[in-house]
Chains A and B, each alone.
Chain A
Amino acid sequence: MDDKEKRFVDELLAASLRHYAGPEPRPGLEDRVLAGVRARQQAARRRMAWAWAVGMAAVAAMVTLLVMEWPRHQPLPLPVAAKTPTGLSTPSVAKVVSPEQPPLPHRPRRPAEASRVDMRPQQFPTPRPLSEQEKLLLAYMQSLQESSAAPASDADQDSAHDLEIPPLSIAAIKIEPLPPLGSGDEQ
Protein backbone atom coordinates (compact mmCIF):
# COMPACT_ATOMS: atom_id res chain seq x y z
CA MET A 1 0.00 0.00 0.00
CA ASP A 2 1.53 3.30 -1.04
CA ASP A 3 1.47 6.52 1.02
CA LYS A 4 -1.36 8.01 -0.99
CA GLU A 5 -3.51 4.97 -0.34
CA LYS A 6 -2.58 4.98 3.32
CA ARG A 7 -3.44 8.66 3.67
CA PHE A 8 -6.80 8.07 2.01
CA VAL A 9 -7.63 5.24 4.42
CA ASP A 10 -6.72 7.42 7.38
CA GLU A 11 -8.90 10.25 6.11
CA LEU A 12 -11.74 7.83 5.49
CA LEU A 13 -11.43 6.39 8.99
CA ALA A 14 -11.34 9.82 10.62
CA ALA A 15 -14.40 10.96 8.67
CA SER A 16 -16.20 7.72 9.46
CA LEU A 17 -15.50 8.10 13.18
CA ARG A 18 -16.82 11.66 13.05
CA HIS A 19 -20.01 10.38 11.50
CA TYR A 20 -20.04 7.49 13.94
CA ALA A 21 -20.86 9.87 16.77
CA GLY A 22 -24.26 10.19 15.15
CA PRO A 23 -26.50 13.13 14.46
CA GLU A 24 -27.34 15.79 17.00
CA PRO A 25 -30.51 15.13 19.02
CA ARG A 26 -33.75 16.51 17.68
CA PRO A 27 -34.85 19.90 19.02
CA GLY A 28 -36.75 19.82 22.30
CA LEU A 29 -34.75 16.96 23.81
CA GLU A 30 -34.64 18.62 27.23
CA ASP A 31 -38.42 19.18 27.34
CA ARG A 32 -39.09 15.62 26.26
CA VAL A 33 -36.74 14.28 28.92
CA LEU A 34 -38.29 16.44 31.66
CA ALA A 35 -41.81 15.44 30.67
CA GLY A 36 -40.87 11.77 30.46
CA VAL A 37 -39.08 11.73 33.81
CA ARG A 38 -41.93 13.52 35.58
CA ALA A 39 -44.52 11.20 34.04
CA ARG A 40 -42.57 8.14 35.14
CA GLN A 41 -42.11 9.62 38.60
CA GLN A 42 -45.84 10.30 38.96
CA ALA A 43 -46.64 6.79 37.77
CA ALA A 44 -44.26 5.43 40.39
CA ARG A 45 -45.95 7.58 43.07
CA ARG A 46 -49.37 6.33 41.99
CA ARG A 47 -48.18 2.75 42.19
CA MET A 48 -46.79 3.43 45.65
CA ALA A 49 -50.07 5.03 46.77
CA TRP A 50 -52.04 2.06 45.49
CA ALA A 51 -49.70 -0.33 47.25
CA TRP A 52 -50.15 1.60 50.51
CA ALA A 53 -53.93 1.69 50.11
CA VAL A 54 -54.16 -2.02 49.44
CA GLY A 55 -51.82 -2.75 52.34
CA MET A 56 -53.77 -0.59 54.76
CA ALA A 57 -57.07 -2.12 53.64
CA ALA A 58 -55.67 -5.58 54.21
CA VAL A 59 -54.44 -4.61 57.67
CA ALA A 60 -57.81 -3.04 58.52
CA ALA A 61 -59.63 -6.16 57.36
CA MET A 62 -57.36 -8.35 59.44
CA VAL A 63 -57.85 -6.19 62.53
CA THR A 64 -61.62 -6.22 62.04
CA LEU A 65 -61.65 -9.99 61.68
CA LEU A 66 -59.47 -10.33 64.75
CA VAL A 67 -61.77 -8.11 66.82
CA MET A 68 -64.84 -10.02 65.65
CA GLU A 69 -63.33 -13.43 66.27
CA TRP A 70 -61.53 -12.69 69.54
CA PRO A 71 -64.42 -13.15 72.09
CA ARG A 72 -65.33 -16.54 70.66
CA HIS A 73 -62.09 -17.97 71.88
CA GLN A 74 -62.92 -17.15 75.52
CA PRO A 75 -64.97 -19.66 77.60
CA LEU A 76 -68.62 -18.80 77.97
CA PRO A 77 -69.68 -18.07 81.56
CA LEU A 78 -73.14 -19.62 81.17
CA PRO A 79 -73.41 -23.39 80.89
CA VAL A 80 -74.74 -24.37 77.53
CA ALA A 81 -76.58 -27.42 78.87
CA ALA A 82 -78.91 -25.26 81.00
CA LYS A 83 -80.24 -23.56 77.93
CA THR A 84 -80.75 -26.62 75.78
CA PRO A 85 -84.19 -27.66 77.08
CA THR A 86 -85.65 -24.21 76.51
CA GLY A 87 -84.68 -24.58 72.89
CA LEU A 88 -87.32 -27.26 72.49
CA SER A 89 -90.01 -24.62 73.02
CA THR A 90 -91.83 -26.62 75.71
CA PRO A 91 -92.94 -24.17 78.34
CA SER A 92 -94.82 -26.82 80.36
CA VAL A 93 -91.63 -28.81 80.82
CA ALA A 94 -89.91 -25.78 82.17
CA LYS A 95 -92.60 -25.35 84.84
CA VAL A 96 -92.23 -28.93 86.02
CA VAL A 97 -88.60 -28.58 86.93
CA SER A 98 -89.20 -27.02 90.34
CA PRO A 99 -92.15 -24.72 90.95
CA GLU A 100 -91.11 -24.05 94.56
CA GLN A 101 -87.60 -23.10 93.66
CA PRO A 102 -87.12 -19.39 94.17
CA PRO A 103 -86.36 -17.52 90.99
CA LEU A 104 -82.75 -16.77 90.38
CA PRO A 105 -81.77 -13.21 91.12
CA HIS A 106 -81.46 -11.16 87.96
CA ARG A 107 -77.86 -10.62 87.17
CA PRO A 108 -76.98 -7.66 84.97
CA ARG A 109 -75.03 -8.70 81.89
CA ARG A 110 -71.61 -7.41 81.23
CA PRO A 111 -71.10 -5.65 77.92
CA ALA A 112 -68.85 -8.40 76.53
CA GLU A 113 -71.40 -11.01 77.46
CA ALA A 114 -74.16 -8.99 75.85
CA SER A 115 -72.22 -8.82 72.62
CA ARG A 116 -71.70 -12.56 72.72
CA VAL A 117 -75.42 -13.17 73.16
CA ASP A 118 -76.27 -10.74 70.41
CA MET A 119 -74.08 -12.59 67.98
CA ARG A 120 -75.95 -15.81 68.42
CA PRO A 121 -79.15 -16.64 66.56
CA GLN A 122 -82.35 -15.82 68.44
CA GLN A 123 -83.27 -19.47 68.71
CA PHE A 124 -80.77 -22.28 68.70
CA PRO A 125 -80.94 -24.87 67.35
CA THR A 126 -83.02 -23.90 64.38
CA PRO A 127 -86.69 -24.73 65.02
CA ARG A 128 -87.88 -27.87 63.36
CA PRO A 129 -90.89 -30.19 63.79
CA LEU A 130 -90.71 -32.53 66.80
CA SER A 131 -89.73 -36.09 66.17
CA GLU A 132 -91.93 -39.00 67.21
CA GLN A 133 -89.92 -39.64 70.34
CA GLU A 134 -90.00 -36.00 71.33
CA LYS A 135 -93.76 -35.90 70.94
CA LEU A 136 -94.08 -38.98 73.15
CA LEU A 137 -91.82 -37.42 75.74
CA LEU A 138 -93.83 -34.22 75.69
CA ALA A 139 -97.10 -36.09 76.14
CA TYR A 140 -95.63 -38.08 79.00
CA MET A 141 -94.40 -34.95 80.73
CA GLN A 142 -97.82 -33.27 80.40
CA SER A 143 -99.65 -36.32 81.75
CA LEU A 144 -97.17 -36.54 84.59
CA GLN A 145 -97.76 -32.91 85.45
CA GLU A 146 -101.55 -33.31 85.46
CA SER A 147 -101.47 -36.50 87.52
CA SER A 148 -99.13 -35.02 90.05
CA ALA A 149 -101.05 -31.75 90.35
CA ALA A 150 -104.61 -33.17 90.88
CA PRO A 151 -104.08 -35.73 93.71
CA ALA A 152 -101.88 -33.38 95.51
CA SER A 153 -104.81 -31.08 96.38
CA ASP A 154 -107.13 -33.99 97.51
CA ALA A 155 -104.47 -35.49 99.67
CA ASP A 156 -103.91 -32.15 101.31
CA GLN A 157 -107.61 -31.87 102.19
CA ASP A 158 -107.79 -35.48 103.59
CA SER A 159 -104.76 -35.03 105.66
CA ALA A 160 -106.28 -31.84 107.06
CA HIS A 161 -109.32 -33.89 108.28
CA ASP A 162 -107.11 -36.65 109.69
CA LEU A 163 -105.15 -34.28 111.74
CA GLU A 164 -108.15 -32.74 113.59
CA ILE A 165 -107.22 -32.89 117.29
CA PRO A 166 -110.00 -33.23 120.02
CA PRO A 167 -109.98 -30.65 122.79
CA LEU A 168 -107.71 -31.54 125.64
CA SER A 169 -109.13 -32.05 129.19
CA ILE A 170 -106.56 -31.36 131.82
CA ALA A 171 -107.34 -32.13 135.52
CA ALA A 172 -106.82 -29.42 138.09
CA ILE A 173 -103.61 -29.63 139.95
CA LYS A 174 -103.94 -30.44 143.64
CA ILE A 175 -101.19 -29.29 145.89
CA GLU A 176 -101.02 -30.70 149.44
CA PRO A 177 -99.76 -28.40 152.21
CA LEU A 178 -96.20 -28.91 153.37
CA PRO A 179 -95.50 -30.16 156.98
CA PRO A 180 -94.50 -27.42 159.41
CA LEU A 181 -90.85 -26.85 160.28
CA GLY A 182 -89.47 -28.35 163.56
CA SER A 183 -91.79 -31.37 163.65
CA GLY A 184 -90.68 -34.93 164.77
CA ASP A 185 -89.46 -35.89 161.40
CA GLU A 186 -85.99 -34.42 162.03
CA GLN A 187 -85.10 -37.03 164.59
Chain B
Amino acid sequence: MAAMGQVILSQALLTADGKDREFEAAVREHARHVYRVAQAVLRNHHDAEDTVQETFLRFLRQQRSWAEIRNPRAWLARTAWRVALDRRRQVVAVSLEEVADVVGALRAAGASAEEMAADGQMLALVERLIASLPKELRDPLTLSTVGEMTSTDIGEMLGIPEGSVRERVSRARTVLSEKLAELLEKGHGR
Protein backbone atom coordinates (compact mmCIF):
# COMPACT_ATOMS: atom_id res chain seq x y z
CA MET B 1 0.00 0.00 0.00
CA ALA B 2 2.77 2.45 0.99
CA ALA B 3 4.80 1.53 -2.09
CA MET B 4 1.81 2.23 -4.32
CA GLY B 5 1.38 5.61 -2.64
CA GLN B 6 5.05 6.43 -3.25
CA VAL B 7 4.71 5.50 -6.93
CA ILE B 8 1.64 7.71 -7.35
CA LEU B 9 3.36 10.58 -5.56
CA SER B 10 6.52 10.32 -7.62
CA GLN B 11 4.48 10.17 -10.83
CA ALA B 12 2.54 13.25 -9.77
CA LEU B 13 5.77 15.09 -9.01
CA LEU B 14 7.26 14.04 -12.33
CA THR B 15 4.13 15.21 -14.12
CA ALA B 16 4.16 18.52 -12.29
CA ASP B 17 7.84 18.97 -13.04
CA GLY B 18 7.27 18.16 -16.70
CA LYS B 19 4.39 20.61 -16.96
CA ASP B 20 6.51 23.28 -15.33
CA ARG B 21 9.31 22.78 -17.84
CA GLU B 22 6.81 22.78 -20.70
CA PHE B 23 5.34 26.03 -19.44
CA GLU B 24 8.73 27.68 -19.13
CA ALA B 25 9.58 26.61 -22.68
CA ALA B 26 6.34 28.12 -23.94
CA VAL B 27 7.09 31.41 -22.20
CA ARG B 28 10.61 31.56 -23.66
CA GLU B 29 9.36 30.76 -27.14
CA HIS B 30 6.23 32.91 -27.42
CA ALA B 31 6.50 35.76 -24.88
CA ARG B 32 7.82 38.29 -27.38
CA HIS B 33 5.14 37.52 -29.94
CA VAL B 34 2.45 37.82 -27.26
CA TYR B 35 4.00 41.11 -26.17
CA ARG B 36 3.84 42.54 -29.68
CA VAL B 37 0.15 41.65 -30.00
CA ALA B 38 -0.58 43.34 -26.67
CA GLN B 39 1.55 46.34 -27.53
CA ALA B 40 -0.24 46.82 -30.86
CA VAL B 41 -3.53 47.13 -29.04
CA LEU B 42 -2.53 48.92 -25.86
CA ARG B 43 0.27 51.21 -27.06
CA ASN B 44 1.81 51.09 -23.60
CA HIS B 45 4.82 49.10 -22.41
CA HIS B 46 3.60 48.43 -18.87
CA ASP B 47 0.10 47.47 -19.91
CA ALA B 48 1.54 45.20 -22.58
CA GLU B 49 3.73 43.36 -20.06
CA ASP B 50 0.81 42.95 -17.68
CA THR B 51 -1.19 41.52 -20.54
CA VAL B 52 1.58 39.03 -21.31
CA GLN B 53 1.55 37.85 -17.69
CA GLU B 54 -2.22 37.52 -17.66
CA THR B 55 -2.12 35.60 -20.92
CA PHE B 56 0.42 33.08 -19.67
CA LEU B 57 -1.42 32.73 -16.36
CA ARG B 58 -4.52 31.73 -18.33
CA PHE B 59 -2.39 29.34 -20.34
CA LEU B 60 -1.12 27.76 -17.10
CA ARG B 61 -4.66 27.35 -15.79
CA GLN B 62 -5.50 25.46 -18.97
CA GLN B 63 -2.69 22.95 -18.48
CA ARG B 64 -5.09 20.00 -18.30
CA SER B 65 -6.16 20.72 -21.86
CA TRP B 66 -2.76 21.59 -23.31
CA ALA B 67 -2.91 18.43 -25.39
CA GLU B 68 -6.05 19.78 -27.09
CA ILE B 69 -4.38 23.09 -28.05
CA ARG B 70 -3.29 22.48 -31.62
CA ASN B 71 -1.31 25.67 -32.07
CA PRO B 72 -0.08 27.21 -28.76
CA ARG B 73 1.30 30.28 -30.53
CA ALA B 74 -2.09 31.11 -32.10
CA TRP B 75 -3.88 30.28 -28.82
CA LEU B 76 -1.61 32.65 -26.89
CA ALA B 77 -1.93 35.43 -29.49
CA ARG B 78 -5.72 35.13 -29.48
CA THR B 79 -5.85 35.21 -25.67
CA ALA B 80 -3.51 38.19 -25.53
CA TRP B 81 -5.66 39.97 -28.09
CA ARG B 82 -8.79 39.48 -25.98
CA VAL B 83 -7.08 40.46 -22.73
CA ALA B 84 -5.64 43.56 -24.38
CA LEU B 85 -9.01 44.58 -25.81
CA ASP B 86 -10.49 44.31 -22.32
CA ARG B 87 -7.73 46.50 -20.96
CA ARG B 88 -7.64 49.03 -23.75
CA ARG B 89 -8.19 52.52 -22.55
CA GLN B 90 -9.70 55.36 -24.46
CA VAL B 91 -7.25 56.80 -26.94
CA VAL B 92 -6.04 60.17 -25.71
CA ALA B 93 -7.80 62.78 -27.80
CA VAL B 94 -5.29 64.91 -29.69
CA SER B 95 -6.12 67.92 -31.78
CA LEU B 96 -5.78 66.87 -35.41
CA GLU B 97 -5.20 70.47 -36.48
CA GLU B 98 -2.31 70.91 -34.06
CA VAL B 99 -0.72 67.63 -35.17
CA ALA B 100 -1.19 68.56 -38.81
CA ASP B 101 0.62 71.84 -38.14
CA VAL B 102 3.58 70.01 -36.57
CA VAL B 103 3.74 67.46 -39.42
CA GLY B 104 3.48 70.24 -42.02
CA ALA B 105 6.32 72.11 -40.33
CA LEU B 106 8.49 68.98 -40.36
CA ARG B 107 7.85 68.46 -44.02
CA ALA B 108 8.60 72.09 -44.81
CA ALA B 109 11.89 71.65 -42.99
CA GLY B 110 12.78 68.86 -45.43
CA ALA B 111 12.33 65.89 -43.12
CA SER B 112 12.07 62.48 -44.78
CA ALA B 113 9.03 60.22 -44.36
CA GLU B 114 11.02 57.98 -41.98
CA GLU B 115 12.10 60.94 -39.82
CA MET B 116 8.57 62.26 -39.68
CA ALA B 117 7.16 58.82 -38.76
CA ALA B 118 9.57 58.56 -35.83
CA ASP B 119 8.24 61.77 -34.34
CA GLY B 120 5.97 61.39 -31.35
CA GLN B 121 3.35 63.74 -32.77
CA MET B 122 3.15 61.73 -35.97
CA LEU B 123 2.69 58.52 -33.94
CA ALA B 124 -0.13 60.15 -31.96
CA LEU B 125 -1.73 61.24 -35.22
CA VAL B 126 -1.60 57.72 -36.72
CA GLU B 127 -2.95 56.27 -33.48
CA ARG B 128 -5.89 58.67 -33.60
CA LEU B 129 -6.58 57.92 -37.25
CA ILE B 130 -6.52 54.16 -36.68
CA ALA B 131 -8.84 54.51 -33.70
CA SER B 132 -11.31 56.36 -35.91
CA LEU B 133 -11.58 53.41 -38.32
CA PRO B 134 -14.56 51.05 -38.13
CA LYS B 135 -13.87 47.89 -36.12
CA GLU B 136 -13.89 45.53 -39.10
CA LEU B 137 -11.05 47.55 -40.65
CA ARG B 138 -9.26 48.52 -37.45
CA ASP B 139 -8.69 45.02 -36.05
CA PRO B 140 -7.07 43.47 -39.16
CA LEU B 141 -4.92 46.56 -39.67
CA THR B 142 -3.78 46.59 -36.03
CA LEU B 143 -2.81 42.92 -36.17
CA SER B 144 -1.08 43.39 -39.50
CA THR B 145 1.30 45.84 -37.83
CA VAL B 146 2.51 43.04 -35.56
CA GLY B 147 5.51 41.46 -37.20
CA GLU B 148 5.46 37.73 -37.86
CA MET B 149 1.69 37.63 -38.21
CA THR B 150 0.50 36.41 -41.59
CA SER B 151 -2.92 36.96 -43.09
CA THR B 152 -3.70 33.34 -42.19
CA ASP B 153 -2.85 33.95 -38.53
CA ILE B 154 -4.95 37.11 -38.45
CA GLY B 155 -7.87 35.40 -40.17
CA GLU B 156 -7.72 32.50 -37.71
CA MET B 157 -7.63 34.90 -34.80
CA LEU B 158 -10.53 37.05 -35.99
CA GLY B 159 -12.50 34.20 -37.47
CA ILE B 160 -12.57 35.53 -41.01
CA PRO B 161 -11.14 34.14 -44.28
CA GLU B 162 -7.62 35.02 -45.27
CA GLY B 163 -8.83 36.88 -48.39
CA SER B 164 -11.06 39.09 -46.27
CA VAL B 165 -8.09 40.00 -44.12
CA ARG B 166 -6.10 41.21 -47.11
CA GLU B 167 -9.04 43.12 -48.52
CA ARG B 168 -9.82 44.82 -45.20
CA VAL B 169 -6.20 45.77 -44.54
CA SER B 170 -5.98 47.28 -48.01
CA ARG B 171 -9.19 49.26 -47.49
CA ALA B 172 -7.98 50.48 -44.10
CA ARG B 173 -4.71 51.69 -45.62
CA THR B 174 -6.60 53.54 -48.35
CA VAL B 175 -8.81 55.31 -45.82
CA LEU B 176 -5.81 56.25 -43.69
CA SER B 177 -3.88 57.49 -46.69
CA GLU B 178 -6.74 59.76 -47.75
CA LYS B 179 -7.15 61.22 -44.29
CA LEU B 180 -3.43 61.74 -43.91
CA ALA B 181 -3.16 63.49 -47.26
CA GLU B 182 -6.02 65.77 -46.32
CA LEU B 183 -4.37 66.69 -43.04
CA LEU B 184 -1.02 67.30 -44.70
CA GLU B 185 -2.63 69.57 -47.26
CA LYS B 186 -4.27 71.55 -44.47
CA GLY B 187 -1.02 71.81 -42.58
CA HIS B 188 0.90 72.78 -45.69
CA GLY B 189 -1.65 75.43 -46.63
CA ARG B 190 -1.38 77.32 -43.30
Contacts and interface: CB of A to CB of B under 8 A. Distances in A.
A25 B123 contact: no
A17 interface: yes
A70 interface: no
Given A1-B181, A16-B123, A22 B53 contact: no
B59 to A, nearest CB: 9
Interface of B: 24, 27-28, 31-32, 35-36, 39-40, 43, 45, 48-49, 52-53, 56-57, 60, 113-114, 116-118, 122-123, 125-127, 130, 141, 145-147, 173, 176-177, 180-181, 184-185
B57 A29 contact: no
Interface of A: 1, 5-6, 8-26, 29-30, 32-34, 36-37, 40-41
Given A13-B176, A22-B36, A29-B32, A34 B117 contact: no
Which A-B residue pairs are the 9 nearest by beta carbons?
A: A15-B117, A11-B113, A22-B39, A16-B126, A12-B113, A16-B117, A36-B53, A21-B145, A25-B35
B53 A33 contact: yes
A25 B126 contact: no
| Overall SS of chain A's interface | helix
Nearest to A19: B117
Contact of B24 (A9, A11, A34): A34
Nearest to A7: B113
A120 B27 CA distance: 67
Contact of A20 (B28, B40, B53, B184): B40
Given A16-B117, A20-B126, A21-B39, A34 B27 contact: yes
23 contacts: A1-B185, A5-B181, A6-B181, A9-B177, A12-B113, A13-B126, A13-B173, A13-B180, A15-B114, A17-B126, A18-B117, A18-B145, A19-B123, A25-B39, A25-B49, A29-B35, A30-B31, A33-B49, A33-B53, A33-B56, A36-B53, A37-B60, A41-B60
